[in-house]
Amino acid sequence: MNFNDLEAINFSKLLGMVSDVSLVIGPNGVIEDVSTGQDTMATLGCQGWLGKRWVDTVTTESKKKIEDLLTVKNETQGLLWRHVNHPMPSGGEAAIQYITVPLKANKLLAVGRNLERLAELQRRLVETQQSMERDFLRLRHIEARYRVLFETSPEAVFMVDAQSFRLIEANAGAQSLFKDAGKRLVGRDFRECFAPDSQGEIQSLLRTALATGRIEMCSATLLGASVPLTASATVFRQEGGAQFLVRLTQRETSAASHLTLDASLVLSQSMEHFPDGWLLTDTAGIVKSVNEEGMALLGVTAASQVVGQSLEGWLIRGAVDWGVLNTSLKQQKPVRNFATEIRTLAGMTLPVEISGAYLTKPEPLYVMFVRDLNRRSQLTSPAAQALPNPFADLSQLVGRRPIKDIVGDTVDTIERMCIEAALELTHNNRASAAEMLGLSRQSLYVKLRKFEISSENDLDLDASI
């Protein structure tokens, strides 16, 4: 190509379009002219390079590359791009890729490309790759947990394709149920695993689950078996389309088991709609079940907000109240009308009465009935609310006795009543009563002797002394 007719101004424009920075280097390696084609190159301070040696504008590790670029000759066949770094006035380094072309009078034209965009793309590529690796590792962990749950489930669990009804996967429980150690179940039509009179039920079950998206159940009999099973199916979607998760569980057919199930169902429904709060806990106080009224008292909207948590955390006095309840219930003594306060989810305090009992079957459990005292006080008749104040007679003593004596007698009376109430609630457990009253055990014993409150344990202790 002949560029002799190309004017200087047009050549400068063309050079600015194909490069980000252009330098004219003199015979001694000094920069005689600078031209930039990007606004972003202004931050590099290229105009300040005029009159400086090119090798002095780069970082230490790039000086050898500049020397190589300055030795280019006319007979050089291949032009090699060299990557050099320029220090920036604001700190950091700017990466630019150069080639040099010889000009007349032993001058060189250095054409440079800014590698900032390329470096940014490389950085994003590395970050994306690291993110994909983290996601892949997380998926592997999820798959491992799924595989453990799937294989260790005692129930027979199947994965069924929603289009062809073919078995995709079956766990160890399913293999043992069909006595298929060779794993020949996979690939079969799931409906063919059941007796002919149950195949229609299974097909209807799968279609209903696909249409509703809910868990559907039916009764079906396996091929060659006489005892019916309970089949439940739910649908989920993956990349290959919809699939069914089907579970098969054994059914008890004896009359006694049906009666037990019916009684349990009635009891469960009764507790669910009981007008007082009802909670079932283990012996450590962890809530296993709660009814609607119990959730309303605690100010929660779902049982999952209570189940699995400690009952102690909902009590205002925490370990003190739970210690009294646990001690009595462990001794298989029923707790009646234990007055305390609970803290709702919103942080409000609610006075309640708790009654509890110890259950031994099917495992050691505590059943708690919680009654709202505010509601009971609102339902109290006006006549009961108008009962006279038990301390109203104190006003008649004013003028007859000094106020110091009146107050002292009143304080003693109240103190004695509180101690007797605490002992009654704790079944004469002095340690729990002292903790409930906020006293040390020594202080409680002093007050017991002061008010001459004794029990059979005290009489036995005195006799032994």
Verify that 320 and 293 share a domain, yes or no. Answer: yes
93 in a structural domain: yes
321: which 2 tokens? 């109240």
Q: What's residue 253's pLDDT? A: 43
Q: What's residue 386's pLDDT? A: 43
Verify that 271 and 340 share a domain, yes or no. Answer: yes
Mean pLDDT of 121-144: 90
Q: Each residue of 283-295: pLDDT tens digit? A: 888 998 888 888 8
pTM value surpassing 0.85: no
Q: What's residue 402's pLDDT? A: 80
Q: pLDDT band at 435, cuts 50/70/90?
A: confident
Pick the range with the lowest mean pLDDT from 353-367, 409-423, 451-465. 451-465
Question: Into how many domains does the chain fold?
Answer: 4
Q: What's residue 226's pLDDT? A: 79
Is the predicted pLDDT of residue 4 greater than 60, yes or no?
no
Q: What's residue 385's pLDDT? A: 46
More confident residue, 379 or 304: 304
CATH number at residue 166: 3.30.450.20
Verify that 296 and 229 share a domain, yes or no. Answer: no
Q: What is the mean pLDDT of the chain?
A: 80
Verify that 71 and 106 share a domain, yes or no. Answer: yes
Is the predicted pLDDT of residue 464 greater than 70, yes or no?
no
173 in a structural domain: yes
Verify that 360 and 413 share a domain, yes or no. Answer: no
Verify that 448 and 406 share a domain, yes or no. Answer: yes
Is the predicted pLDDT of residue 383 greater than 50, yes or no?
no
CATH number at residue 422: 1.10.10.60
384 in a structural domain: no
Mean pLDDT of 398-416: 77
121 in a structural domain: no
326-335, 405-414, 444-453 — which one is most confidently predicted on average?
A: 444-453
Q: Each residue of 181-190: pLDDT tens digit? A: 555 778 888 8
255 in a structural domain: no
Verify that 326 and 374 share a domain, yes or no. Answer: yes
For residue 202, the Cα-to-chain-centroid distance in whole angstroms is 36
More confident residue, 303 or 2: 303
Q: What's residue 125's pLDDT? A: 92
Verify that 284 and 374 share a domain, yes or no. Answer: yes
Verify that 172 and 195 share a domain, yes or no. Answer: yes
Q: Each residue of 206-258: pLDDT tens digit? A: 989 888 888 888 888 888 787 888 899 999 887 768 889 999 887 654 444 44
Verify that 443 and 368 share a domain, yes or no. Answer: no
Q: What's residue 256's pLDDT? A: 42
Q: pLDDT band at 129, cuts 50/70/90?
A: very high
- Whole-angstrom distance, CA of residue 407 vs CA of residue 403: 6
Verify that 282 and 180 share a domain, yes or no. Answer: no
Verify that 279 and 341 share a domain, yes or no. Answer: yes
Mean pLDDT of 285-306: 88
Q: What's residue 1's pLDDT? A: 47
300 in a structural domain: yes
Give every strand in the sheet of 216-220, ordered side by side.
167-170, 156-161, 241-250, 229-238, 216-220
The percentage of the chain sitting over the pLDDT mark of 70, rounded to a whole number, equals 80
Mean pLDDT of 393-405: 67
Q: pLDDT band at 130, cuts 50/70/90?
A: very high
Q: What's residue 393's pLDDT? A: 61
3 in a structural domain: no
130-144, 168-182, 223-237 — which one is most confidently predicted on average?
A: 130-144
208: which 2 tokens? 């209903």
Residue with tokens 């669910």: 272
Give every strand in the sheet of 93-102, ordered side by side.
31-36, 21-25, 108-114, 93-102, 82-87
143 in a structural domain: no
Q: Which domain holds residue 93?
A: 8-114
More confident residue, 418 or 383: 418
Is the predicted pLDDT of residue 100 greater than 70, yes or no?
yes
